[in-house]
């Protein structure tokens, strides 16, 4: 991928990339002569394809870590295979000691989703529905939760009850 500033006839340079929001990343390019910036939006499929190929926008200057793609991308992996640096809470690349971990920043800077806002704006779960959610195998729970929430949103439910879960159930392979 190359970009040309048509005013200056100069090749644009990569400037920055955001972390994915709704699965989509934005890369900024700048003309070194007139400093015009353009933004390139990758749709979720394009973002996912780059992630699957373990390629980083803007280049990769970090030393490769052993099995970094599998360990950072396997959702159903063992926790010891996903060392602290991978835990979602530290997705900004800060280690517990506050230092910058090269490993995490290498993989997460480009592809870790922006953390959820503190005040979730989605539908509210009833206690009964939450209990049912707990019965779903741990490894598919996050996916199921997201799916039910988006089903509730799409169908205008502010509250997720057992009934809403029943209604959502037809949409998922997982039993709950």
Partner 1 sequence: MKTYKELPSDAGSNIIGQVEAQANRVQKRLASVKHTVAIMSGKGGVGKSSLTANLATALTLQGNTVGVVDADINGPTLAKMMGVRNATLEYTPAGVKPAITALGTKLISMDLLLAEDDAPVIWNAHTQKDAFTWRSAMEVGALREFIGDTEWGTLDYLLLDLPPGTDRLPNVAELIPDLGGVVVVTIPSEVSQFIVKKSVTMARDVLKVPIIGVVENMAFYVCQHCGEKEPLFSSDETLDTAFQQDLLGSVPFDPKLARSSDDGTLYLHEYPDAPASKVLMAVAEKVQAFFQSL
> Which residues sit at the interface with partner 1, rule CB under 8 A?
1-4, 6, 9, 11-14, 20, 22-24, 29, 44-45, 47-49, 51-60, 64-81, 83, 113, 137-140, 143
What b-and-e string marks burial along 12-32, b requiring 16 or more CB atoms within 10 Å of the CB? Answer: beeeebbbbeeeebbbbbbbe
Q: Which residue, 56 or 126, is less far from partner 1 as judged by CB?
A: 56
Residue 101 Cβ vs partner 1, minimum distance, rounded to whole Å: 13
Residue 37 Cβ vs partner 1, minimum distance, rounded to whole Å: 13
Residue 28 Cβ vs partner 1, minimum distance, rounded to whole Å: 11
Rounded Cα distance between 170 and 14, Å, is: 45
Q: Which residue, 79 or 121, is less far from partner 1 as judged by CB?
A: 79
Q: Which two tokens stand for residue 147?
A: 């799916």
Query: Which secondary-structure segment (H or E) carries 160?
Result: strand 159-160
Rounded Cα distance between 28 and 19, Å, is: 12
Residue 80 Cβ vs partner 1, minimum distance, rounded to whole Å: 6
């Amino acid at each position: 991928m190359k970009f040309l500033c048509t005013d200056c006839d100069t090749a644009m340079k990569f400037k920055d990339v955001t972390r994915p929001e709704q699965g989509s990343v934005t890369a900024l390019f700048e003309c070194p002569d007139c400093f015009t910036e353009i933004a390139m939006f990758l749709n979720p499929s394009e973002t996912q394809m780059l992630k699957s190929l373990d390629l980083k926008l803007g280049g990769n200057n970090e030393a490769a870590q052993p099995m970094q793609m599998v360990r950072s991308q396997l959702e159903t992996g063992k926790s010891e295979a996903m060392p602290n640096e991978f835990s979602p809470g530290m997705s900004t690349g800060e280690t517990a000691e506050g230092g910058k971990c090269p490993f995490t920043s290498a993989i997460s800077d480009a592809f870790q989703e922006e953390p959820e806002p503190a005040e979730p704006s989605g539908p509210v779960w009833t206690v009964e529905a939450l209990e049912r959610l707990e019965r779903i195998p741990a490894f598919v729970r996050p996916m199921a939760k997201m799916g039910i929430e988006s089903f509730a949103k799409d169908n205008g439910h502010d509250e997720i009850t057992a009934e809403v879960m029943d209604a959502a159930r037809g949409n998922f392979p997982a039993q709950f």
